[in-house]
Amino acid sequence: MSQPGPSTKRNKRKKKQAAAPAQSEPTAGGSAKRGGQGPKNSKKGKGKQVEPQSLASRAAARKIVSDRKQANAEKHYDKATGLFNDGKYEAALKSLQDACVTFKTLPKYVLKMASTFMKLERYEQAIDMATFHIAIDRNQNNISARFLRATAFIREHQYAEAAVDLILCKRSRPEALEVTDAIEQLHQLWDVDKDYFERNPEYANANAVHTIMATCTANYDLDCESDTEDSRHIGNGKPCKNYNKGAPCTSGSKCNFRHAVDDRSVRDQLGRNVCLNFLLHECSKPKCPYAHFKANLPINGWWNKSEYVAYYQSVYHNLGELIPPFLGRDMNGQLLPFQQRETSSAWIDSHHKTEGARHKLRRQLEAQCAFDSIELASTGPFPLRPVTFFPLRRTRRKMANIQLEDSFSEYDDSEFDIDDFRGNRDGMTITDYIKLGYRPWDASEGVDWDSMPYC
């Protein structure tokens, strides 16, 4: 009896050893660039497996959701406009906020909200909303927002800030009577002589240029919520590393971990959650569960603007090198601009027991925002400096020579030559002059406000 030949079944059972996939930044399809396509749908997984979508298909799906949400938001806006015209400002404000919650904070929503806050005599909030409008409406002259903000500044006795906005309004619309009237009103109110400081000492150290660094702009720059299963998947709250790093999550809808964005991340156009600490250049965790690439984030976001990154870095360090919920939600677009002031104040109040500690932290954050805003506005050869605003005339003259010293107490007026000063002003801007304490209607020193650049 002959011996049986070699078994063919045993050979069939042998499996090829898969090559290790190369690690690189995920592509639009969700797999590594050199690792081939991700696994296809399989019924044998623990949960429902979803084929990774391309960037184009995700964009098309988002547009359908976005159009639907914007249509609903427009209904709230139309309702708010009618209520505003009827003088029902509180109800109009509520409808405007509903429009922002339903979709996102569009320029026309926030400008109408600023007007509503003015009617309600809530001038700080009006300034916040007008500033936000100026920050996000990048292709316009922002005349309406600047004039509204200047009016609010005047009501808040912030005359220098009002002057800067009115100068720009006058330049763009020299025939506008309301701008001329506002300048005349400011002329009557604003006195930079010594007696002004004696009557209003709290304004002596104010910054000349009001912050143009509006926070919460991510709410406008990012897409509205996509309402996908992943965007709502919370799990146990801990972020899913596979999902965020671009490798398809093998557990799908039954994953124990979080696929939705949280307070420490921002969602990109592929649905991945990008590490906020990474965007601040502060993440040192080798096994961070969030994505560490920003190629799929919108180009106009704060993460691509050095002055905004510097601002958020300073806030991060002032808060003890942590990102509390109010800051994370500001950075990832979940916090709306009309919520920012109240939300941040509530967090500061709850984490600092004494009024002195709360006041100190607020001053630190405000000072840093003002400093970074000055950096943002200063593009000329004479950068603005955080020095005392509205100096006396002798100090102002010395500053005009761009010879800033630690003390002006020994300065002698006889050393000042107005002709030398007039010959040394090339390249100065509106913000330079406002910082030096000059009024926009002051022609005594030959200041040509109409032809001077803003910054």
pLDDT tens-digit map of 280-304: 999 988 899 999 999 999 998 999 9
Rounded to a whole number, what is the largest CA-CA distance in the chain? 127
Q: Does 249 have pLDDT greater than 70?
A: yes
Taking domain 61-203, whether its CATH number is 3.40.50.300 is answered by no
Higher pLDDT, 143 or 449: 143
Count of beta carbons in the 10 Å neighbourhood of residue 98 = 18
Structure tokens at 126: 């009006």
Q: Is the dihedral of CA 404, 408, 411, 417 positive or negative?
A: positive
Q: How confident is the model at residue 411 (pLDDT cuts 50, 70, 90)?
A: very low
User: What's the pLDDT at 414?
Assistant: 44
Structure tokens at 71: 């249509």
User: What's the pLDDT at 120?
Assistant: 98
| Contact predicate 455/431, CB 8 Å | yes
Average the pLDDT over each of 91-105, 153-167, 191-205 and give the range with the smallest value.
Answer: 191-205
Residue % of the chain over a pLDDT of 70 = 62
Q: Which residues contact 348 (CB under 8 A, 6 or more apart)?
A: 358, 361, 362
Alpha carbons 430 and 146: distance in angstroms, whole number: 15
Task: Tell the residue number behind the tokens 């596979």, with chain if given.
Answer: 242
Q: Does 236 have pLDDT greater than 50?
A: yes
Alpha carbons 212 and 209: distance in angstroms, whole number: 8
For residues 14-45, one letter each, b for 16 or more C-beta atoms within 10 angstroms of the residue's C-beta and e for the rest, the string is: eeeeeeeeeeeebbbbbbbeebeebeeeeeee
H helix or E strand, kind and range, residue 274: strand 273-275
Structure tokens at 337: 């601009």
Average pLDDT, the chain: 73
Would you say how long the chain is, in residues? 455
Q: Does 390 have pLDDT greater than 90?
A: no
User: What's the pLDDT at 138?
Assistant: 72
Alpha carbons 7 and 140: distance in angstroms, whole number: 79
Q: How confident is the model at residue 442 (pLDDT cuts 50, 70, 90)?
A: low
Count of beta carbons in the 10 Å neighbourhood of residue 427 = 10
Q: How confident is the model at residue 99 (pLDDT cuts 50, 70, 90)?
A: very high
Q: Does 131 have pLDDT greater than 80?
A: yes
User: Residues 236-249: what's their mean pLDDT?
Assistant: 90
Higher pLDDT, 425 or 60: 60
User: Residues 218-223: what's their mean pLDDT?
Assistant: 89
For residues 164-187, one letter each, b for 16 or more C-beta atoms within 10 angstroms of the residue's C-beta and e for the rest, the string is: bbbbbbbbeeeeeeebeebbeebe
User: What's the pLDDT at 436?
Assistant: 60
H helix or E strand, kind and range, residue 246: none
Q: Does 311 have pLDDT greater than 60?
A: yes
pLDDT tens-digit map of 148-187: 999 999 999 888 778 878 877 888 888 888 988 888 888 7
Higher pLDDT, 422 or 251: 251
Alpha carbons 101 and 105: distance in angstroms, whole number: 8
Average the pLDDT over each of 68-77, 147-156, 373-382 and give the range with the smallest value.
Answer: 373-382
